[in-house]
């Protein structure tokens, strides 16, 4: 889906800008459009396939060797299931957020046919809160696979290893900043002129936004967008935003339902 409703944005006082990667942004955008909201999809992250998925395929062919397979994001789920026909019996899946749980469900893995572990506290879903629901003593001496991007936090792997767990990590995709071509430059310039709410679901995306805005509109543009309202689903992203000078930050629970509820509450 291309960026939507930029012409309407000039008249709209509450445009919703979704900055997720394109494929993840579209379902949320369509739901908000159905609710009568004006939406612009402006991805601040690109999700790219691996140039060589050999190692990923090898790990996926050996899933039965693991007690738990942990997915760090919906992108990790989707990238893995591109090569995985079905989920092996007896292997638990672990996810850090509601979006990843929904991604598993889309591929047929649910609480009805598999063990799916996830944080209990939906107000903070991350590696720390996932660790709280794992039975670390029972996992000692067993193997856990973490499916992730090419780069990412090491906390989950480190804590598991400290508990005596054998941990393998495999990349399923890579992340990058979308190219700031002339079309995106014009689009971002228009967005800077609109009173908008920005849905930010990654600290990396927020850093990419700063870089893009400063390239397009300099320091003045950055000061301008710092007055925007951000809607974020994690305390760590909220803290990043505040450290970067944003004062209007709305923190929600994990998942699209919570994001939509926060957006609708601002109608």
The pTM for the full model equals 0.81
- Asked if residue 160 lies in contact with residue 67, where contact means CB atoms within 8 angstroms, the answer is no
Which of 150, 175, 200 is the endpoint of a domain?
175
Residues 169 and 248 reside in one and the same domain: no
Tally the domains of the chain: 2
Residues 106 and 134 reside in one and the same domain: yes
Q: What is the CATH number of the domain that holds 254?
A: 3.40.50.10090
Give CA–CA dist 164/147, Å, rounded: 19
Residues 72 and 171 reside in one and the same domain: yes
Q: Which domain holds residue 124?
A: 48-175
Give the pLDDT confidence score for residue 266 in this predicted structure: 83
Give the pLDDT confidence score for residue 39 in this predicted structure: 95
pLDDT per residue of the chain (267 residues) written in tens, 0 to 9: 344 444 444 444 589 999 999 988 999 999 999 999 999 999 999 999 999 999 999 999 999 999 999 999 999 999 999 999 899 999 999 999 888 999 999 999 999 999 999 998 776 778 888 999 999 999 999 999 999 998 777 899 999 999 999 999 999 999 999 999 999 999 999 999 988 999 999 999 999 999 999 999 999 999 999 999 999 998 889 999 999 999 899 999 888 999 999 999 986
Residues 168 and 55 reside in one and the same domain: yes
Give the pLDDT confidence score for residue 2 in this predicted structure: 42
Domain assignment of residue 210, yes or no: yes
What is the chain's alpha carbon radius of gyration, rounded to the nearest angstrom?
A: 19
Domain assignment of residue 1, yes or no: no
Angle 208-126-74 from CA coordinates, rounded to 5°: 65
Residues 56 and 161 reside in one and the same domain: yes
- Asked if residue 188 lies in contact with residue 208, where contact means CB atoms within 8 angstroms, the answer is no
216: enclosing H helix or E strand:
helix 203-225
Domain assignment of residue 240, yes or no: yes
């Amino acid at each position: 889906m291309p960026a939507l409703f930029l012409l309407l944005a000039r008249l709209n006082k509450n445009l919703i800008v979704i900055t997720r990667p394109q494929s993840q942004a579209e379902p949320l955008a369509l739901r908000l459009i159905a609710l009568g909201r004006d939406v612009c999809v402006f991805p601040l992250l690109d999700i790219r396939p691996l140039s060589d998925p050999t190692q990923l395929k090898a790990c996926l062919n050996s899933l039965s060797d693991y007690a738990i397979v942990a997915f760090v994001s919906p992108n990790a789920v989707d990238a893995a299931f591109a090569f995985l026909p079905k989920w092996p019996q007896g292997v638990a899946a672990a996810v850090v957020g509601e979006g990843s749980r929904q991604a598993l469900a889309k591929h047929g893995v649910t609480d009805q046919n598999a063990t799916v572990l996830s944080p209990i506290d939906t107000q903070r879903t991350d590696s720390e809160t996932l660790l709280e629901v794992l039975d670390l003593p029972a996992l000692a001496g067993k193997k856990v696979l973490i499916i992730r991007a090419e780069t990412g936090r090491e906390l989950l792997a480190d804590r598991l290893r400290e508990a005596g767990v054998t941990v393998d990590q495999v990349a399923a995709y890579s992340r990058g900043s979308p190219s700031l071509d002339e079309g995106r430059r014009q689009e971002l310039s228009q967005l800077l002129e609109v009173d908008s709410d920005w849905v930010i679901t990654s600290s990396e995306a927020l850093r990419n936004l700063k870089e893009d805005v400063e390239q397009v509109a300099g320091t003045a543009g950055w000061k301008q967008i710092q007055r925007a309202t951000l809607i974020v689903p994690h305390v760590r992203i909220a803290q990043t935003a505040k450290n970067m000078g944003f004062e209007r930050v709305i923190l929600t629970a994990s998942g699209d339902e919570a994001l939509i509820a926060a957006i609708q509450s601002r109608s």
